[in-house]
Chain A
Amino acid sequence: MSGETMAETRTRRIKLHDIAHARAGDKGNTSNVSVWVYDPGDYGLVKSQLTADKVKAAYPKLIQGPVRRYEVDQLHGLNFVMEDALEGGVNTSLGLDSHGKSWSYLILELEVDVPENRGPG
């Protein structure tokens, strides 16, 4: 998916968890996950690769509604707002994690391509 941005360099694929941290919150049946890179130098590649479409496409059964992405460039963070993504929300979900507190790690296990010569996460 990152062919255009990474065409010039050899890349390797890592989990976002290696280079970013995240927190999940809920309001009704909408989940939001904010994602923050540890190293500002990684913000560009995460911003270009971790699109709202990529998040939506990764979990089609879970995320039933649209996904919007907000960017907070000066703090190197992205905020994903996922509608109808909590199996009904805390009121109706029969799931163990009915707030979707652990959804942050659904985002962090998505993969991104980084330059092959980049140091370990």
Chain B
Amino acid sequence: MLRLGCGAGFSSDRLGPAIDLAEKGRLDYLVFETCAERTLAFAHRDRKLDPRRGYNPQLRARMRGVLKAAKANGTRIVTNMGVANVPEAAKVVVEVARELGLKGLKVAAVTGDEVTDLLGPDTRLFDNHDKRIDEVGLPFTSANAYLGLDAILPALESGADVVITGRVADPSLFLAPIAHKYGWRTDDWAALGKGTLVGHLLECGMQITGGYFADPGRKDVPRLADCGYPIAEVAADGSAVITKLADAGGMVTARTVKEQLLYEVHDPARYLTPDVTADFSRVELAEDGRDRVRVAKGNGSRRPDTLKVTVGFDGGFLAEAGVSYAGPNATGRAQLAADILRERLGRESGIGRAGTPLRIDLIGLNALHGTAHGARQAAEDVRVRVAMRTADRTACETMLWEVESLLCCGPAGGGGYRGQITPSVVTHSALIARERVMPRVEVLVA
């Protein structure tokens, strides 16, 4: 039996429950998945500003939290917290190990995912109407291929205590330890499909233990504030039980597992990873005691010949600003504020005309589902929210100023102005032939 835990399902995921897993999970492996497409694009920007950055900002805190317990309990760590700067991230892990007195700790750095120099202006983006990179109209910043199992296996074979990667497919972070433990061949598609299923279920952390699930009165989750991360007990045949620490909040039921099963999945029979074309369409689930769900019948067929590449672009800035109205005729006053903003921004600065789209929502009436439903009836607590994205920072500042000026110049009773300008990235996807991507492993010793 192999015990795998997930200690992060995204970049900013909680640390405390990951420390619990390291201390009490009796795990063989603890995996931290923190690398979304946009996270990666932002990390490239960070590295450009400072060559010693570009890895997960919580890497040091996470390692300080779990490394000692993990080493003491024989739990190996696998993580993509290297993001856009694996070599620096590996150095940070070594530093933390020394600081904690863990002399001799081995850290394997998996690189080779960065393919920025292998793409050209004529590379096609399959998720963007097959446009070429140079037709996007934004500065091209970075490209990373999704590495898989075969890039991580040599790192595990090196005996490393910590394996740190950049862009790898999320399920591969979990599949690699399973395949390593059970000696699966990298063309045993049925087995790899089962292991990929386990990885897919675990990769979003608490999304399978009660997070992103609760709907009070319909789907109640016990002690959600103290939700625990998931654990998978994986058998040699690839079947698994999904569970959690007994004293952690949250829950594991057939329902929590079902919702995660198809999270971000399109055709359940064809889930593509670098390792396999996984088939989740015949999966069977059985509750096997409290907070234990048995997962079986994952399957797979031959892996794709190409690797997916995340291509990052500099998207300029996202500017957002808002002001609120409450009480009688709040809706009328908020609508008037929106009308004034459209008129003034368009007339004075051309904002909201072609080229610089402007969006104004009335939060409380139509913000999230506005396009789907159109405006709903009046509310008495309404926030005008204005958003725009542009490379022109001055235009962003102009918009914020106009919104703030409504406090004195706009409708009665407006309050609660807030505005912010944040850097924006745009990502698209391309494909690259597998043989053009060369993964490498370097082992550092603390």
Contact = CB atoms under 8 A, between A and B. Distances in A.
Contacts of A94: 318, 357-359, 387-389
A36 B372 contact: no
Band of interface residues on B: 35 or more
A34 B368 contact: no
B315 interface: yes
Contacts of A87: 371
B368 A102 contact: yes
Interface string A16-41: 01000111011111101010101000
B258 interface: yes
B51 interface: no
Main secondary structure of the interface of B (DSSP, over half): mixed
A23 B372 contact: no
Interface in A74-121: 74-75, 77, 79, 81, 87, 90-92, 94-97, 102, 105-106
Contacts of A106: 369, 372
A27 B258 contact: no
Contacts of A21: 215, 218-219, 255, 259
B428 to A, nearest CB: 8
Interface string B355-381: 001110101000111111010000000
B265 interface: yes
Interface in B378-422: 385, 387-389
A1 B296 CA distance: 37
A32 B426 contact: no
Contact of A36 (B38, B255, B315): B255
Interface stretch (B72-80, B229-237, B277-285): B277-285
Contacts of B370: 95
A106 B368 CA distance: 10
A23 to B, nearest CB: 4
Nearest to B127: A28
B368 A25 contact: no
B139 interface: no
Band of interface residues on A: 35 or more
B263 interface: yes
B264 interface: yes
A27 B212 CA distance: 17
A62 interface: yes
B310 to A, nearest CB: 11
Given A21-B215, A21-B255, A91-B427, A59 B372 contact: yes
Nearest to B371: A62
B264 A25 contact: yes
A13 interface: no
A77 B269 CA distance: 14
B306 interface: no
A95 B429 CA distance: 22
B218 A34 contact: no
B333 to A, nearest CB: 20
Contacts of B387: 94-96
B134 interface: no
A61 B361 CA distance: 16
Contacts of B213: 23
B16 interface: no
Contact of B426 (A70, A75, A81, A91): A91
A74 B282 contact: yes
Interface string A53-82: 000000101100000101010110101010
Contacts of B368: 95-97, 102
25 contacts: A21-B215, A21-B219, A23-B213, A23-B263, A26-B264, A28-B127, A28-B428, A34-B262, A36-B255, A36-B258, A61-B374, A68-B266, A70-B266, A72-B268, A72-B281, A74-B282, A74-B284, A75-B283, A81-B266, A90-B38, A95-B361, A95-B371, A97-B367, A97-B368, A102-B369
Interface of B: 38, 127, 212-213, 215, 218-219, 254-255, 258-269, 281-285, 315, 318, 357-359, 361, 363, 367-372, 374, 385, 387-389, 425-429
Given A25-B265, A28-B428, 14 more contacts: A23-B260, A25-B263, A30-B266, A32-B265, A34-B263, A36-B255, A70-B266, A72-B281, A75-B258, A90-B38, A94-B358, A94-B387, A95-B367, A95-B368
